[in-house]
Amino acid sequence: MGRKQFKAESKRLLDLMVNSIYTHREIFLRELISNASDAIDKIYYKTLTDDSLTFDKDDYFIKINIDKENRLLKISDTGIGMTKEELDDNLGVIAKSGSLAFKKENELKDGHDIIGQFGVGFYSAFMVADEVTVMSKAFGSDEAYKWESNGIEGYTIEPCQKETIGTDIILKIKENTEDEKFDDYLEEYRLQSIIKKYSDFIRYPIKMDVTERKLKEGSEEEYEEYIEEKTVNSMVPIWKKNKNELMKEDYDKFYEEKHYGFDKPIRHIHIKVDGAVSYNSILFIPEKMPYDFYTKEYEKGLELYANGVLIMNKCSELLPDYFGFVKGIVDSEDLSLNISREMLQHDRQLKLIAKNIKNKIKNELSNLLKNERDQYEAFYESFGRQLKYGIYSDFGSNKDALQDLVMFYSSKEKKMVTLDEYVSRMPEEQKYIYYASGESNERIEKLPQTELVSDKGYEILYFTDDVDEFAIRMIMVYKDKEFRSVSSSDLGIEMEENESESNLNEEENKELFEHMKNILSDKVKDVRASKRLKKHPVCLSNDGEFSIEMEKILNSMPNNQNIKADKVLEINMNHAVFKSLKEAFQKDKDKINLYTNLLYNQALLIEGLPINDPVEFTNNICEIMI
């Protein structure tokens, strides 16, 4: 087979590797060991589903060999191996998983960062090697193949001799340069410490021939060296260690190794429970939202182990949807190894664990909110929406658990506040918790409907997420206080003495309002004198069950239900425009028609609703200009 070229994107990454001046070249070993361990996992999975196979732990290991003379470092595994096609597919293109997604986001702007933080898989071998040879024999195949490349001029694949199933990765370590001592990667001691540092939790033994010294037989002072095969990693998974043996860095490292995210977790929760059900768990609350979090591709779930053996990659039963952002693992000795997905759903032990985990996460978030507000806000920025969905879903059955974790932007504080903070500041006479819905804080700030409530000095919560109003409707009452939209017809605010006057005026102008209502016919339910407007001439409010914001959201959904809010056009009788309206009503029927339509369309625009006929609207404006 002739020489093949790397795919374009792989080539860029390769160049980056080969020319990397990055000081953490050592991570190449972590990457190769992690691939080896994945390959053994794959064989292990096969044995779970195929009765004719058995998994004998002793047969599965990773071996590191050093050949100093020839500058070769070999990493062998007894994993699933690769066929000729797989060698071509997998090693000819850049890793399809984590790193690629990350690469897309960042377009390799800063390659060093990628290498440092996440590793780039197999290609990292070229950071330390001039030449990489992969010899592999796939499970179920009689032939073995050799993939070879110097990283620059493409690669070749040809048949080779290999007795056992698995893969050998052979690195021809680079010569030392002025700045870098590549010899390090041929030193037993150095390699051992790299393995300890990055790959200590790998579940399979990482073996290495280690030079030891012992007293020569018969001598009391003369030593001799001998070679012994040793397992370098402790294999004790982090979750089985004691919390006091572990530092924050250890958890962060685990998070990174597991590819849970490209961020650093905001919090980790290490749980050890012995009781009705026993389990260990490490959970992480990420800071940043995964790029696919709000897509249907995102799969929530925790890794599930039965006594140290992985049985499921993403066990979704362990997390409620609203905590779907949590990453981590659960290991329980009370679970059976051969448990199927269907059985899991009904497993009593698993349900207990899930319940317990849910409470732990909730408590951790409450503590974070209480003690580290900045961090909580960063978290909330990413996942707050999810918590609000949690309140709304399942007919509000989780609202008690979640209502103290949600926050909204406050008109008065100009920052995010909790419901508890809002209520604790409410003046005695204030009846309701007020909110206003809109596209953004800036737009809500300008809504005429907020005038009266703001003038009263009351705080308003800004709802900018689609789900906000729906979630609040589920809560209904918080600490004995009902929620009320600033657009609702009854704001529960006692009117000042001028109210009676305006009532009188309203009575006086009944005919005018009636007329306007007829002009607008089925577009509005009513036209009324406004009690909430101060400076603005007009606004829309609503009477019935659905708010205008809800109408917008529901009608933008795929299964458009054609929901209509009962809209009321409110007119500010203290505004100069009202005088013109009155005059027009008395003298010029065409004009009142024109004004009414103009005002209605203005109110729609303020609400962010589309106007029915924009051409007519602009023509109307022109008409009053000439």
Query: Which residues sit in the known binding site?
Result: 31, 35, 77, 82, 90, 96-98, 117-122, 167, 341
CB within 8 A of 387, min separation 6: which ones?
322, 380, 402, 405, 406
Please, is 221 exposed, middle or buried when counting C-beta atoms within 10 Å of its C-beta (0-12, 13-18, 19+)?
Answer: exposed
| DSSP code of residue 4 | B
Place of tokens 């005018």: 512
Toward ligand ATP, which CB reaches closer, 35 or 530?
35
Least distance in angstroms from the C-beta of 32 to ligand ATP: 7
171 beta partners: 73, 132
Toward ligand ATP, which CB reaches closer, 4 or 351?
4
Least distance in angstroms from the C-beta of 204 to ligand ATP: 12
- The residue number whose beta carbon is nearest to ligand ATP equals 121
267 beta partners: 285
Greatest Cα pair distance in the chain: 127
Least distance in angstroms from the C-beta of 168 to ligand ATP: 9
Least distance in angstroms from the C-beta of 63 to ligand ATP: 12
Toward ligand ATP, which CB reaches closer, 82 or 144?
82
Measured CA to CA, the distance from residue 88 to residue 146 in angstroms comes to 10
Measured CA to CA, the distance from residue 67 to residue 168 in angstroms comes to 14
Least distance in angstroms from the C-beta of 34 to ligand ATP: 7
Amino acid at 506: E
CA distances from 77 to 82, 205, 233 (A): 12, 10, 15
Handedness of CA 109, 115, 120, 126 (dihedral sign): positive
Least distance in angstroms from the C-beta of 392 to ligand ATP: 35
Toward ligand ATP, which CB reaches closer, 101 or 611?
101
Which residues here bind ligand ATP, judged by CB under 6 A? 31, 35-36, 39, 77, 79-82, 90-91, 95-99, 119, 121-122, 167, 259
Measured CA to CA, the distance from residue 462 to residue 436 in angstroms comes to 5
Q: Which residues are annotated as a binding site for ATP?
A: 31, 35, 77, 82, 90, 96-98, 117-122, 167, 341
Measured CA to CA, the distance from residue 100 to residue 108 in angstroms comes to 10
Rg (CA), the chain: 34
Toward ligand ATP, which CB reaches closer, 63 or 385?
63
Least distance in angstroms from the C-beta of 27 to ligand ATP: 11
List the structure tokens of 589: 């029927």
Toward ligand ATP, which CB reaches closer, 20 or 90?
90
Helices (H), 281-432: 341-346, 348-371, 373-392, 399-402, 419-425
Toward ligand ATP, which CB reaches closer, 167 or 601?
167
Place of tokens 């707050």: 384
